[in-house]
Structure formats: structure tokens, C-alpha cells
Amino acid sequence: MKRFGVSVAVILTLLIAACSSGGSSSGSGSGSNGQVNLVMWMGYTPPPPASQGAEYVALKDIVTKFMKLHPNIHIRMEYVNSDYALQKVTVALQGGQQPDISYQYGTNMPQIATASQLVNLTSIVKQPKYGWSDFVPGERAVATVNGKVYGIPALVDNLAVVYNKTLFAQHHLTPPGPNWTWSQLAADAKAISDPSKKIFGLTFPADGSETTVWEYEAMLWEAGGHILTPDNKKAAFNSAAGVRALTQLRQLQQAHALYMDFHPDAGTSETLFNSGKLGMIITGPWDLSTFPDVKYGVQIMPSWDPGGSHQTIAGPDNWVVFNNGSARVNASLEFLQFLTTPANLLQNSMATGALPTKLSVQQLPGFSQFNVKYPGAGTFAANLKNVVQARPQVTQYPRVSAALGREVVAAILGQATPQAALNSAAQQADSYLVVP
């Protein structure tokens, strides 16, 4: 009896120790005194000391300002890498531990919209104080799934061509103008490339991820193509436009003018561009601050034919709200409304170089300093008008994108012809799209 008693005591101690250390770490709700505690996941940059990211500091400033105005609301910022925010929230939802506010990529929206805990914002954003119609149309499209609004735009960017002015001058090339074409870009890239010196004309993300795919999609749209058919039931990228875009990339690779970046997350292309080893990089405004050592220019995407479309792709991200009781939902909405007032958006843009998510910010008197402080960012801001299409808002998109990414890379490497690769991707995509 004695021995048994001892073991029971040991077990109970262990279990209590195990439980007490893990419990109630994120179970903060609204207290009896009207205090509301919110958890916000953000993934721009890790908080200091891991990095001194301007994005973190700028957001923290606005959070602090908000909490001063609303002493009964406390917001805890938690860093969650945006690349894994969907996985994290999936797990959190399983355990009922969802945050109040979460930063999510636009491509995650159709998946997240299936969660019953996600707050439908359709009627809320109609209130004038949210200034919904002031958001860029492409952002609103990505915040909306099946006609219902689930997100408040958090960030908008777009792709344009950043080029090394010094390399262009060295090879006596005319810098790209707003009416330039892909054949011009290809000729420039080939002229600049010098394999013996490890200099490449253009870099392309080749990990087959969404980073690969969205760059290809911009080229596809410029050529007049579409990702899916209008009813989102079948793939449409294996068209003449799709083949034209992919053939161009394959030709550049064959000419040793294309740097295949198999690890775009690692920042190799940015480092190479900043070391003068790359003539051009197709990227967004977030990258400009990583090029302090080169004289660079920014130009909008080329068109396929003279006078053709220069459209680009935007990757708008959203803030979404999860239901943890009405007090916390209301406080979250209050904060998001505050975060997206034109004045605060301007403050954030000036602090981080991010494009303002509302168009009216570009009319504010302080905005003229934006392109002075962040050279080239003005071109990206103006380029928002070239955002005319959005990626299809369907749950199958990530899987379709993965198939397209694999085949695009295979075709550039010459493992299949562009047409065969796109047909194979389309066949896979069609099989995914028939499953709801």
C-alpha cells in the first residue's frame, strides 16, 4: 500500500506540474472590469532584438497610440511568420486558441473563409468610417470570397522591373521606358549577361512556389492569357499566351541570361543585385531598401507587343478577425479601423516604404516625400493602376498554383516543352478543380 501511495503521489505531482506550466497562456479574454485583451498575429518582421525591422516598429507605434486612446483595450502583438500563418491558424482553430486578429496572405483567404470562427465583415465595412471604396480595387477583390468580405487590406504591392543603371550604361543600353517590350527586356538581359563573370541579365524565382507562379502569372496576363476559365472550373493558362510567356523564360535560360534562383526566400537574388551581378530583378517595393549599393531604376512591366498591356499582379494581404466573443471582436474592429485611417496609413508608408493601401493617401500633402525617401517607390505606387486582375479566389488555388509552379520550372530547365509542361499542369489543375 505504501509503495502504491508513493507512486500515485509522484504521478499527481508530475501531472500537476505539466498542466500548470502549459495552461492559460493565451486564454486572456475580457475581464470583469471591462478590460479587453486582444492577441494579434503579425508577420512582417520578428520583433527586436531578432531584427530591428521598420515594419514591426511602425506597427508597434500605431498599436501604442491606439492603446493610449482606448485604455480598456490591450493588444498583444505576436510574431507569426506570414508564410506559415495559414498552418498556424489551422492548428489554433482546432484547439479553439485562435488569435483575435491575424495577418494572412490573400491566397489564404478562400481556405480561411471556410472557418466558422472567421468574422464576416460584409456589413461592417459598409460603415463610412472604414472607407471601403477608398481601398485599391484589387485589394477589395482579394478580401472578398464568394461575395462576402472577410478581410481588411493590410498591405498591397505589385511587381515591376528594378534595373541596375550602371550595368545598362556600361553596355550602352537605353534604360527601359514606360512603353518597353519583352523583346527589349530579353535583348537587354542577353547583352548584360556574362557567364564568365557570373553576371546575369535577369533573375527568376525557381522554387516552384507561389513566388514563381505569381511572377509567371503577371507575364501571362500581359500576354492576354488567364489562369482559369471565367467560371473557375478549368485551367486556362495552357493557351498561346501562356506558351509565349514560358517560351520567353526558356529562351533566356538557354542564352545563360537567366539566374535561376532556387531559394528565393534566402535572399540570394537581392544580394546579387545589390552586388552588381544582376541586370534586372522583377520584384516589389519591399525589396528597394535591400539595394543600397547600386544605382537602380524602377520601370513598370514590359508589354508583349508595342502598345500592349503593361498589367502587373498585386499580392494584397489582409487582416482577418476571429470570433472570441463580441467584446473582443468589437475591439479588434475598432483597432483595424484605426489602423487604416489615411493618416495612419501615411505614417506607416513613410516609416516602412510600403505602398499605402488606400488611394486617397496619395493625395495627402505629406505623400510627396514618399518617393524622395524611398527612391523608386513612387513608380510602384503609380503602378497600382496596372493591377486589373486578381488570382482566382477558390480553395483549390494553392494546389493549382503548386502544379503550375512545378511545370513552369521544369519547362524553363528544358525537361519539357512549354506547351507540354503547361498541358500537364492544366490536366493536374483540372483534376483538382472538379473536387469541391
Partner 1 sequence: MWRLRRITESEHAAGWAFAFPAVCLIFVFGLVPVVWSALLSFQRTNLIAPGQWIGLANYKALPHDPLFQASIVHSLIYTALFVPLSVAGGLLTAVALNRRIRGIRIYRTAVFVPVVLSTIATAIMFLWLLDPNFGLVNYLLGQVGLGPYGFFDSATGALYSIVGMTVWGWIGFDVIVYLAALQGIPQSLVEAAEIDGVRTWSMFRNITVPLLGPATLFLVVWSSINALQLFDEVYLLTKGGPGTSTYVVVYYLYSLAFSQGVAGYAAAIAYVLLVAILSLTLIQLWVGRRLVYYAS
Contact residues for partner 1 (CB under 8 A)?
Answer: 1, 3-4, 7-8, 10-11, 14-15, 18, 86-87, 90, 93-94, 111-112, 114-116, 198, 206-209, 259-260, 262-263, 266, 395, 398-399, 402, 406-407, 409-410, 413, 415, 428, 431, 435-436
Q: Residues near 281 by Cβ (< 8 Å), separated by ≥ 6?
A: 161, 162, 202, 203, 269, 270, 273, 287
Residue 186 to residue 297: CA distance in whole angstroms = 17
Burial 86-114 (b: 16+ CB within 10 A, else e): bebbeebbeeeebbbbbbbbbbbbbbbbe
Comparing CB distances to partner 1, the nearer of 116 and 174 is: 116
- Residue 381: how many CB atoms within 10 A of its CB? 21
Cβ at position 392, least distance to partner 1 in Å: 14
Burial 173-197 (b: 16+ CB within 10 A, else e): beebeeebbbebbbebbbbbbbeee
Residue 40 to residue 38: CA distance in whole angstroms = 6
Cβ at position 196, least distance to partner 1 in Å: 11
Comparing CB distances to partner 1, the nearer of 263 and 373 is: 263
Length of the chain: 436
Comparing CB distances to partner 1, the nearer of 110 and 176 is: 110
> Under a CB-based contact definition with an 8 Å cutoff, are residues 354 and 365 in contact?
no
Cβ at position 84, least distance to partner 1 in Å: 9
Cβ at position 149, least distance to partner 1 in Å: 18
Comparing CB distances to partner 1, the nearer of 128 and 436 is: 436
Cβ at position 4, least distance to partner 1 in Å: 4
Comparing CB distances to partner 1, the nearer of 9 and 343 is: 9
Cβ at position 13, least distance to partner 1 in Å: 10
Q: Which three cell numbers stand for residue 14?
A: 508530475
Residue 106 to residue 143: CA distance in whole angstroms = 7
Comparing CB distances to partner 1, the nearer of 205 and 353 is: 205
Which residues sit opposite 153 in a β-bridge? 318
Q: Residues near 192 by Cβ (< 8 Å), separated by ≥ 6?
A: 167, 168, 171, 173, 199, 200, 201, 257, 279, 280
Residue 99 to residue 101: CA distance in whole angstroms = 6
Cβ at position 412, least distance to partner 1 in Å: 9
Comparing CB distances to partner 1, the nearer of 182 and 204 is: 204
Cβ at position 366, least distance to partner 1 in Å: 39
Q: Which three cell numbers stand for residue 223?
A: 500576354
Crossing angle of helices 397-412 and 210-222, rounded to 10°: 80
Q: Which three cell numbers stand for residue 294?
A: 547600386
Q: What phi-psi label fits residue 405: left (phi over 0), alpha (psi between -120 and 50 degrees) or beta? A: alpha
Cβ at position 257, least distance to partner 1 in Å: 13
Comparing CB distances to partner 1, the nearer of 206 and 345 is: 206
Cβ at position 129, least distance to partner 1 in Å: 30
Comparing CB distances to partner 1, the nearer of 115 and 364 is: 115
Cβ at position 91, least distance to partner 1 in Å: 8
Strands (DSSP E) found in 7-111 = 36-42, 73-79, 101-105
Phi, psi of 103 (to 5 degrees): -85, 125
Comparing CB distances to partner 1, the nearer of 250 and 310 is: 250
Comparing CB distances to partner 1, the nearer of 3 and 68 is: 3
Secondary element (H or E) of residue 144: strand 144-145
